A and B are shown apart, each in its own frame.
Chain A
Amino acid sequence: MQKITKNQLLDKAAELLDNGTVTAVLGWQKGEFDYDVTPALFENKEELFANFVWNDFCGANFSKYLIKHTRKVEGKILVFLKPCDTYSFNQLLTEHRFDREKVYAVGIPCEGMADIDKVKAIVGDGISSIDCGEKIKVTTIYADAAVEIDGKDVLEGRCESCKSKKHVAYDELLGEEGDVLDSNRFDEVARLEAMTPDERFAFWQNELSRCIRCNACRDVCPACTCEKCVFGNPKSGVENKSPANSFEEKMFHIIRAFHVAGRCTDCGECSRVCPQNIPLHLLNRKFIKDMNECYGEYQAGAEVGSRAPLVNYTTEDLEPGEVFDRRDTDA
């Protein structure tokens, strides 16, 4: 599905390592089964050429790793960024979370990433190989013939409503400059808004009841970068390791959604990693939609240094009362 090839990325990485521009490469490392890709920091060319992978399962957004790696690595780090990743990258810079001077960002085009669950829904379990070319070619231990899948049929949920193919940050761009897309990403939110409050409550109650509080959504989120999260801090008084009851289950998610409101770029990592398939992105997207409607269009991470509407008072801002009225007519 991808237009840019692994070799193009490898050549670029080798060139930058060779000419001393960077000392390490943040990239995707191949796993056991062609789809279980792990983010990795490659510190030399041997490792890179042995283990680097680029295919339709390279969904991981590396921006957040830059906080940790720029503190550790001497010299610059080459990071490969897909268009959606660049928004997180900018947002982190806006929040002064890493030193821009220590990063060499290479923008790479993305045709959308594949969801292994959707692949399995078509080919079944027992995958023995996946070959990502123009089509995704899958073999399983249960069938003699390989199955060819169109990548568009197995796109990750977030890629189905991709907001932008444009890279908003890079030092160098491979491939062509893309555009901000006219995405349908708010349709799902509109569906929730059309529900009655009771229906909506029941919807979230059901979704969140599956939460095992593994914290993967928080830990992967590029907007969740507190050095110590209140929910993991024994001194905070609200520390908790498990959802103790259904109130507390929701509280974690509501507080997290509020905390990232205005800073969430809608990168979709939370929903991608949730082992329980909870559509967490919808909470944040609702905030984005509301902010767009109340304060004018705003995209977090579109540029470095922008002020989110919630922290930027202007005299044109809606009065809280108007927002309240809006809620009343919604119901």
Chain B
Amino acid sequence: MFLINCPYCGERDQSEFSAGGEAHIERPKQPTELSDDQWAEYLFMRKNIKGVQFERWNHAHGCRKWFNMVRDTSNDKIHAVYKMGEKPPIK
């Protein structure tokens, strides 16, 4: 069970959070101008990396804020957490 450092509340137990999939997939500004393939890319295609991954998390049973996390899926190490809209502190 992770210990997650919510950027707004500090360290909390994983049971307070819910995971929200891959981060930094921006909703297209003009979806109607996309081809089926381009839209499908946004809608369905997600990475499933063994290693360092950028993820969205929500402090669902806390401040209810969404934020981003850099996590290594091979050992569950959390390398960084940062607010929505911020650039990842790690490449």
A, B assembled together = no
Residues of B within 8 A of A (CB): none
Residues of A within 8 A of B (CB): none
